[in-house]
Structure 1
Amino acid sequence: MKSKMKLLTSVALSVLFLVSTNAFAQHTTSPQYRNWVTPAPGQFDYYKLSLTLQPVYCLKNPSSLACRTSVLKNSPLLTLNELIPVRDQGKRYHYQYCAKSITPRQMQFDRTKQWSKLNPVLNLTKPTSKALNEVMPQTRVYQQRHAWLKWGSCNSDSDDANSYFAKAAALTKYINNPDVSAYIQANRKTTVTLTDIRKFFNREFKTLNKIQFQCTVVGNRSYLEHVNFYINKRVDLTDLSVFPLFTPFGTMSRPPQQECPESFYL
């Protein structure tokens, strides 16, 4: 009798565990749960502007539609990857997918890179659309939909995609000045050192080392894939040369981690 009672008790506890686990799983994918773990839009500390060295992206992704079309002929060497509002709360804190209207299904499409299934980005003016296409060739694979859903939704309470992408395009064009283009072009397919390239960008933009270089391995070589800049959230696009563009010391809890070896290819 006792063994039978123990068996029934064990079965009941197992069923209760499964039910509660399933309920928790459903709860954690709901917008209400995300509202608890993700703060409201606009509550971030600085921007992370991530630029991609486009030839290296295509070396790594030769079958990408953006790399197989003529759109790259007039693209800058450094192209827009993402403009990320960052809340400096450590790696376990995810400041993303801030809009209450985002569904778990949309998040799943985004995380599996089914970006063509995401909602189109609305209300972009013709000048903003033109500027965005110039600095982000991956609009051909709907990267702008991913960027808006995951990061742009956290930019401000106004839900203004046009303002967000106009800022991203303007900052990318500002970085892609003639000196930067000439430096990258002169060093293409050659080895550079982390020390030298950091010195160049520090001298060019007074970045105070608030810059990160991320590499990728293709074949047996390390190539520079992304250059990340950490930018003041109150950046004024009307005069980037006067406003303190890059975050000064003290506004980041720790310096950005480097992910390139001491020497690598451009």
Structure 2
Amino acid sequence: MLLIAAKGILEDHMRLLLRVIVGAALVSVASVLPAVSQVKLDGFFLAEEACPAFQSFRKQTNPGNVYVERMHAYELLGKNKAEASHYFIRMNGVSPAERWVEISCGLHLVEAEGGGQSSGDGSGGSGSAEVVRPAVQGPSADAEFLLAASWQPAFCQTHQDTAECASQVSGRFDANHFALHGLWPQPRGNFWCGVTHEEKRLAENRSTWGELPALELDEATREELDKVMPGTQSYLHRYEWVKHGTCYSDSAEEYFSESLDLMGQLNGSAVRDLFAANIGEVLTTAQVRAAFDDAFGAGAGNRVEVRCRGGLITELFINLKGKIEPDTPMRDLLLAAKPVQSDCQGRVDPVGFN
């Protein structure tokens, strides 16, 4: 009897020990698993207000004091429960990128039949009408941009198969003027504003840019764009509009006409003169920045990153800040922007493949 009782006690202890071990293991696993949304969702979150983007909405933690931007769309990952209070979204350019925002802050958009977008599960926002592309508010005095201006002959050295490079000749505008790459709202990651899944799919593959919707542009704007952005031959303008322009304006005409105005100021300046006079020669970042200071005021050059590749100057990344309108002086936009690091030197490439 004593032996049987001892055996029973031992079995009870073994069961208790097993429960402790299993419980500890579950706690350990739970502690390393990432927090995830309770209900998975597809589509986009369109912010209707500037709201805080929390790492943990329960603890109200917000590393970096990040806010979603009004009328910008973000990839939607899920919501915290069926009767949700928060959406789980992905924000490019911040850390951590996965954030929680209150449902009352905006709309859940999903792709609708015919390629448009409609409001999603009805748990947030108002209305259920289709939204092809949300309206984007005009730039404010604090808005930041990056104007990417290419030196096209250098670009063509590594893109010889593109239509604009195959057709480039020494007498064409982009042989000795800067070419428009794009005007990009900042910070980095501020793109794809309200575009459909199909538009984004087509834009992410250069071979399908031509299948993106044609843009409504005035005839004069289109002619100027074809000259200053030779990449229109490869439908670069459609790609730039879908990715970046949609975060700048709800009008492609406004986006490109104001981009072309900035390029006109650049190509009419001492900066372009410096490049045109030194084709085949090497320029330093200091020389380029000095030309910007001469053209746009002392300190303007510090807002410019000179980009080099393979010993060639390929592009200028020009930081701008302010409200861009027709004929806004680039001087004002440059001097209001943040300085940037830059230290390269390269040859000003002539037309032709080496």
What's the TM-score, normalizing by structure 1?
0.74
- 1:265 matches 2:339: no
Show the counterpart of 1:84. Answer: 184
Between the two proteins, the alignment pairs up a number of residues equal to 229
Instruction: Among all aligned residue pairs of Structure 1 and Structure 2, give the percentage whose two residues are the same amino acid.
Output: 20
Structure 2 CA distance, aligned partners of 1:125 and 1:152? Answer: 16
* Higher mean displacement: 176-185 or 134-143: 176-185
Show the counterpart of 2:212. Answer: 118
The offset of 1:236, in angstroms, is 4.1
The offset of 1:197, in angstroms, is 1.7
Give the gaps of 5 or more residues in structure 1.
Answer: 11-16
Instruction: Tell me which of 257, 261, 265 is aligned to 1:170.
Output: 261
Show the counterpart of 2:332. Answer: 245
Alignment of structure 1 residues 112-151 onto 2, 5 Å: 112-113=205-206, 114-121=208-215, 123-151=216-244
How far does the alpha carbon of each residue in 1:49-72 deviate from its partner, in whole angstroms, 9 at most, with x for none? 110001101112112110112577
Structure 1 CA distance, aligned partners of 2:245 and 2:219? Answer: 19
Native 8 Å contact 1:46 1:230 kept in 2: yes
- Cα 1:160–1:38 change in 2 (3 A) is same
Task: Describe the SS at the equivalent of 1:209.
Answer: helix
The offset of 1:233, in angstroms, is 3.1
Structure 2 CA distance, aligned partners of 1:79 and 1:228? Answer: 12
Which residue type is aligned with residue 31 of structure 1? F
Task: Describe the SS at the equivalent of 1:245.
Answer: helix
Structure 1 CA distance, aligned partners of 2:231 and 2:328? Answer: 28
Structure with higher helix content: 1
Show the counterpart of 1:234. Answer: 323
Task: Describe the SS at the equivalent of 1:255.
Answer: coil
Task: Describe the SS at the equivalent of 2:262.
Answer: helix
Bigger relative contact order, structure 1 or 2 (CA pairs below 8 A, ≥6 apart): 1
Native 8 Å contact 2:190 2:247 kept in 1: yes
Task: Describe the SS at the equivalent of 1:138.
Answer: helix
What's the TM-score, normalizing by structure 2?
0.57
Larger Rg belongs to: 2
Which residue type is aligned with residue 224 of structure 1? I
- 1:96 matches 2:155: no
- 1:214 matches 2:314: no
Task: Describe the SS at the equivalent of 1:73.
Answer: coil
Show the counterpart of 1:14. Answer: none
Supply the RMSD in Å over aligned alpha carbons. Answer: 3.1
Task: Describe the SS at the equivalent of 1:48.
Answer: strand
- Cα 1:72–1:65 change in 2 (3 A) is farther
Instruction: Tell me which of 276, 280, 283 is aligned to 1:192.
Output: 283
Give the gaps of 5 or more residues in structure 2.
Answer: 1-14, 16-21, 27-32, 54-67, 72-135, 349-354
How far does the alpha carbon of each residue in 1:86-129 deviate from its partner, in whole angstroms, 9 at most, with x for none? 24xxx5xx21111x3x21222122122231121111x2111111
Structure 1 CA distance, aligned partners of 2:247 and 2:70? Answer: 9
Native 8 Å contact 1:116 1:142 kept in 2: yes
Native 8 Å contact 1:235 1:244 kept in 2: no
Structure 1 CA distance, aligned partners of 2:46 and 2:256? Answer: 28
Native 8 Å contact 2:266 2:272 kept in 1: no
Which residue type is aligned with residue 320 of structure 2? I
- Cα 1:53–1:118 change in 2 (3 A) is same
Structure 2 CA distance, aligned partners of 1:214 and 1:129? Answer: 28
Which residue type is aligned with residue 186 of structure 2? V
- 1:32 matches 2:116: no
Which residue type is aligned with residue 234 of structure 1? K
Alignment of structure 1 residues 63-74 onto 2, 5 Å: 63-69=161-167, 73-74=171-172
